[in-house]
């Protein structure tokens, strides 16, 4: 579904991705783990079109998406839940969700909204509340819900569990699995490597802008190097 080959990208004069190569097949949950600064967020942002590539290719369902504008990428079906959520703080929950459906045909809006409300009942309860006044966990739910409003085929998640209490972290990962069961493909970037690898089909370990290791989730969990570097063992 998504094929990235030799991708180089960065900010200003600084190149962060030094030749990223990865593949995601439909229906998979793929994890991207690695230390801070390894390039995980840059990878997602380049796929989303927020960062321009300097070289390499990005192909989605057979077509190159490398030089598209961010809103065009969303229209293709790739939606990101960004690090820091990037919600519309001065808008209400309902308006945030409505904006999430910007690229959705109008006749699908009601049904999709109902589905998102079903997954995250708290969003239905607090429909008219300002996004900025919600708690961290609720904001994360809203961020994911807003992304789902676009009915993506590929969901990119950047550190969804960041700053959340353990109970909420569990909720987030449950949501990821639930979303996959509904037919979505997920690329998830996380520092919480253990939990992520548990639910992932496959994973890539990113170091200094390149793939250092790859394998199935289970394999990497058992890998000594991974255990030492990222699982604190």
Partner 1 sequence: MDNSPNVAAAGAADDPETVEITDSGASLMTDAERRERQIRRVVGVIVAVTVLSLNFEQIQLLTGPNRSVLIQATVTGILIGGVYGLVSMGLTLIYGVLHIINFAQGALMTVGMYSAFSLVSRFGFDPYATVVFTVAFLFVIGAIVQGLLLNRIMKESLEKQLLLTLGLSVFLENVLLLLFSPTPRAVQLPYARGSTSVFGITVEWPFQVFGAVASLPRTIAFFGAMALAGLLFLLLQRTSLGVRIRSVADNPRGAALVGIDVQRTYILVFGLGAACVGAAGALVLPFLSLEPTTGESFNVIAFVVVVLGGMGNVVGAILGGLIIGLTQQIGGIIFTGQSNLLGVFVVFVLVLFLRPNGLLGRAH
Residues that bind partner 1 (CB under 8 A): 48, 50, 69-71, 74-75, 79-80, 82, 85-92, 95, 98-100, 102-103, 128-130, 132, 146, 150
Spatial distance between the Cα atoms of 158 and 166, rounded to a whole number of angstroms: 17
Q: Looking at beta carbons only, is 96 or 230 nearer to partner 1?
A: 96
Q: Do 216 and 202 contact (CB within 8 A), yes or no?
A: yes
Cβ proximity of 73 and 47 under 8 Å: yes
Least Å distance, CB 190 to partner 1, is 19
Measured between alpha carbons, how far is residue 3 from residues 65, 83, 107, 138, 176 in Å? 10, 22, 32, 33, 21
Cβ 147 to partner 1, closest distance in Å?
8
Whole-Å CA distances, 222 to 24, 49, 134, 180: 22, 34, 38, 24
Question: Could you give the CA distance from residue 40 to residue 231 in angstroms, rounded to a whole number?
Answer: 17
Distance CA 170, CA 200 (A): 14
Query: Which residue number, 89 or 121, has a Cβ lying nearer to partner 1?
Result: 89
Query: C-alpha distances in angstroms, 225 versus 35, 222, 231?
Result: 13, 9, 9
Q: CB-wise, 12 or 183, nearer to partner 1?
A: 12
Looking at the Cβ atoms of 102 and 108, the one nearer to partner 1 is: 102
Please report how close the Cβ of residue 93 comes to partner 1 at its closest, in angstroms: 10
Of 98, 63, 91, the residue nearest 77 (C-alpha): 63
**Shortest Cβ 132–partner 1 spacing (Å):** 5
Name the β-bridge partners of 233: none
Shortest Cβ distance from residue 174 to partner 1 (Å)? 23
Residue whose CB is less far from partner 1, 26 or 132 = 132
Residue 64 or residue 132: which is nearer to partner 1 going by CB? 132
**Please, what is the minimum distance in Å from the beta carbon of residue 226 to partner 1?**
30
């Amino acid at each position: 579904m998504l094929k990235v080959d030799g991708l180089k990208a960065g900010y200003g004069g600084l190149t962060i991705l030094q030749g990223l190569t990865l593949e995601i097949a439909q229906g998979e949950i793929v994890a991207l783990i690695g230390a801070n600064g390894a390039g995980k967020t840059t990878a997602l942002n380049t796929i989303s079109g927020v960062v321009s590539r300097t070289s390499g290719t990005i192909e989605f369902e057979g077509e190159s998406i490398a030089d598209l504008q961010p809103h065009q990428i969303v229209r293709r079906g790739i939606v990101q839940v960004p690090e820091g959520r990037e919600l519309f703080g001065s808008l209400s929950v309902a308006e945030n969700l409505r904006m999430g459906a910007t690229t959705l045909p109008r006749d699908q809006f009601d049904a999709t909204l109902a589905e998102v409300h079903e997954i995250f009942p708290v969003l239905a309860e607090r429909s008219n509340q300002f996004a900025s006044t919600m708690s961290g966990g609720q904001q994360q739910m809203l961020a994911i819900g807003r992304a789902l409003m676009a009915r993506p085929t590929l969901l990119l998640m950047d550190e969804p569990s960041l700053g959340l209490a353990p109970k909420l972290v569990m909720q987030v990962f449950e949501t990821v699995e639930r979303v996959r069961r509904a037919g979505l493909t997920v690329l998830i970037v996380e520092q919480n490597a253990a939990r992520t690898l548990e639910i992932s089909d496959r994973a890539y370990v990113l170091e200094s802008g390149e793939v250092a290791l790859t394998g199935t989730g289970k394999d990497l969990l058992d890998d000594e190097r991974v255990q030492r570097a990222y699982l604190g063992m």
